Copies of this chain bind each other. A is one copy, B any other.
């Protein structure tokens, strides 16, 4: 059904519901939007969503977009190995593009290394207008 590598992990009921909502949606969702979408599935409180999201992020199946306070399903099977991911976020259509660029990641690590900074997580988010929205 879904070839996504991450899907192989076995998730709890709440986790798969949240994951399902995110994969169905083609863009990022806020925790509260997810909550609303899952009310029919028995979700009542934000915490149910946040708990599931925490785990999914930990598994590398979901990314958090800091500049949007929203979450998006990972679109690269192998991304969990590399925590240097960049996102291009279109401010018009809301679409998010996940990119892993080696040169970028390398430069970031270099900078951290130069400062003897023990890098744990990198957030790179590009805001702008995507190609298709520009012509329109």
A111 touches B104 (CB 8 A): yes
B117 touches A129 (CB 8 A): yes
Give the interface size class of chain A: 20 to 34
A119 touches B112 (CB 8 A): no
A13 within 8 A of B: no
Binds B, one of A4-12, A32-40, A95-103: A95-103
A127 within 8 A of B: yes
Question: Using a CB-CB cutoff of 8 Å, which residues 38-73 of chain A contact chain B?
Answer: 66-67
In the assembled complex, which residues on chain B have CB atoms less than 8 Å from the CB atom of A111? Answer: 86, 88, 99, 101, 104, 126
Which 3 A-B pairs rank lowest in CB-CB distance, beginning with the nearest? Answer: A116-B131, A66-B66, A118-B129
